[in-house]
A and B are shown apart, each in its own frame.
Chain A
Amino acid sequence: MSFKDLELNMGPQHPSTHGVLRLKVKVDNEVIHSIEPVVGYLHRGMEKLWESLTYPQIMPLTDRLDYIAAVANNFGYALAVEKLAGIEVPKRAQYIRVILAELMRISSHLAWIGFQANDIGAVSVLLYGFEDREDFLDIFEAYAGGRLTINAMRIGGVPFDLDAALIARIRAALAGLPHRIREIETLLNENRIWKHRTQGVGFLSAAEAVDYGLTGPCLRAAGIPWDMRKDIPYSSYEDFEFDVPTTDRSDVYGRYLVRMQEIRQSARIVTQALDRLPEGEHIAKVPRVLKIPAGEVFHTTEAPKGELGFYIKSNGTDKPERMKMKSPSFINLQSLPLMCRGGIFSDIVGILGSLDIVLGEIDK
């Protein structure tokens, strides 16, 4: 019996699509012929809703976009509003924001390695990744009371100062991190099955990656060292020493290597920020009713998933006239069909996982 030109549906309810994503796959026996992602199952009309809310009211909604890395969304939104309104953020607040955002990146990448290894079949790595991530979620809980949707920023700064107890806790979590990453790498780096499932799978050339608008760890795994924290630094990132890890592999394995290195670099940034945390206020004085004169800005940040942008157009009132989010997952997902060409059906799960998409952010 032949399965030439068989059409299969993966999702919308599939355990490895990380949300509600449907893939229309055409296969020629086991070889992928074409693949088409269908999104929108979670679309909540966020951009329409934002037009009816005041600037501070929008902040907690941004948590619900990339809910694996909620602080990254708060960060991007706060910076865009501050640029538009011309609000100067105190140095201490800038550092605390960097600390929170980098802890979030570590937490997001740890969740990713857990999910990714589990999807490919290395179930035990899921337990390691999630146990390690727990430490960081506890830190967020101690800081702002939430674990996933934290609402950890305000326009003009951060809602709470960092106290000595929390700083000690962050340092303790970072001290244990190198050992924990090594544990995961010991399980995977030279694992024959892992290498077989990831090396040479999901290839995308550097030129194609730029043309398709790919950003974040996937772009850096194609050998292109673009990172907004270095390229157009914001919130005092220029004060910190860190590397932008890249590899020329541009396959699923390469994306794994880049993310593991990024965890180390984030830890480096947090350590420096804690060591040099400036004294001062943790939030600027912002009017209770924030009315922003007519204007428009587009500001992007380096979120764990890629380049996250916010475009805001103001009209002098306390609500945006239009606000658009540039979702890195949405743009990155476009290159899935390219990465899957010539592959076999069982590779799809690994390639999709390597993109690290979150449907909450795609279906904004």
Chain B
Amino acid sequence: MTDGPTDRPALDEALAALTARAGDAVLGTAFAKGELTVRLRPDAVIAAVAFLKAERGFTALNDMIGLDNGPAPAEGRKRFTVLYQLYNREARLRIRLAADVAEGEPLASIVGVHKAADWAEREIFDMFGVVFEGHPDLRRVYLDPEFEGHPLRKDFPLRGKA
């Protein structure tokens, strides 16, 4: 264990650098089960991802994950959360960035930074209806273009139609 917020000195350093860079765009950090989550203001995500890639060695985007916090999200939270799993292979470090967006609120696409985000963003658009601004080709990836609704939203029924 270290004195820092995480259990790895290198991860503490990366977090400190990110916090110094992003300033008040960092809304909070959490460390649990060996995993670090940094919550950012949505407009600061692309700069943070680019900074971590260029200067802190987080060259790989493992995955992007969409979450629906329900039609009536908790106090201070918004409807959707988008998570970015970044990986620094040299130092074996993972960081999870989180951005909350309301329904209809756009989020900047990170395809310009990580090409791997292309289909990942299309999938979140398909399943949740989160719009990624600046994505070169934002279409549904799995479902038919004619399909109505976004199946992974909590108010979309398991059986039957929306």
Instruction: Tell me whether A297 and B60 are in contact in the complex, defined as CB-CB below 8 angstroms, given that A39-B141, A40-B143 are known contacts.
Output: no
B65 to chain A, nearest CB (A): 5
| Interchain CA distance A295-B30 in the complex, whole Å | 11
Q: Is B92 an interface residue (CB 8 A)?
A: yes
B140 nearest CB neighbor, chain A only: A40
Interface hits, A278-314 → B, CB 8 Å = 295-298, 300, 307, 309, 311, 313
Contact check: which of B89, B118, B158 meets A49 at CB < 8 Å? Answer: B158
Assuming A48-B152, A226-B89, is B60 touching A40 (CB within 8 A)? no
For the residues of A in contact with B, the DSSP-based class is mixed
In the complex, how many angstroms separate the beta carbon of A364 from the nearest chain B beta carbon? 9
CA–CA, A95 to B69, complex, Å? 39
Contact mask B132-153 → A, CB, 8 Å, 1/0?
A: 0000000011111000000110
Known contacts A52-B158, A231-B89; A45/B151 CB under 8 A: yes
Query: How many contacting A-B pairs (Cβ < 8 A)?
Result: 84
Q: Could you tell me if B63 and A47 are in contact, using CB atoms closer than 8 angstroms? A: no
Shortest CB-to-CB span from B74 to chain A, Å, is 12
Stretch at the interface among A102-110, A133-141, A206-214, A345-353: A206-214
In this assembly, does A264 line the interface, its C-beta being within 8 Å of a C-beta of chain B?
A: no
Q: A45-B151, A84-B33 are in contact. Are A311 and B115 (CB under 8 A)?
A: no
The contact size tier of chain B is: 35 or more
B85 within 8 A of A: yes
A199 CB-CB contact with B under 8 Å: no
Q: Does B43 contact A (CB under 8 A)?
A: no
Q: Which residues of chain B from 74 to 115 have any CB-CB distance to chain A below 8 Å in the complex?
A: 83, 85, 89, 92, 94, 96, 114-115
Complexed CA–CA distance, A273 and B132 (Å): 47
Report whether B94 and A298 are in contact in the complex, using a CB–CB cutoff of 8 Å. yes
Cβ of B52 under 8 Å from chain A = no
8 A Cβ contacts from A73-130 to B: 83-84, 86
Looking at the complex, which of A9-17, A166-174, A324-332 is the stretch in contact with chain B? A324-332
The yes or no answer to A43 lying at the interface (CB within 8 A) is: yes
**A147 in the interface, Cβ–Cβ < 8 Å?**
no
Closest to A322 in B: B67
- C-alpha spacing A300/B115, complex, angstroms: 20
Q: Are A43 and B142 in contact (CB under 8 A)?
A: yes
Least Cβ–Cβ distance between B21 and chain A, in angstroms: 22
B35 contacts partner chain A, Cβ-Cβ < 8 Å: yes
Which residues does A use to contact B, with CB under 8 Å?
A: 39-40, 43, 45, 47-49, 51-52, 83-84, 86, 208, 210-213, 226, 231-232, 295-298, 300, 307, 309, 311, 313, 322, 324, 326, 330-331, 333-334, 363
7 A-B interface contacts by CB (under 8 A): A39-B141, A39-B142, A48-B151, A226-B89, A231-B89, A298-B62, A331-B116
Please give 8 more A-B residue pairs, beta carbons under 8 A apart, in addition to A48-B156, A83-B33, A333-B119: A40-B142, A49-B158, A211-B115, A211-B116, A213-B116, A296-B37, A326-B62, A326-B85
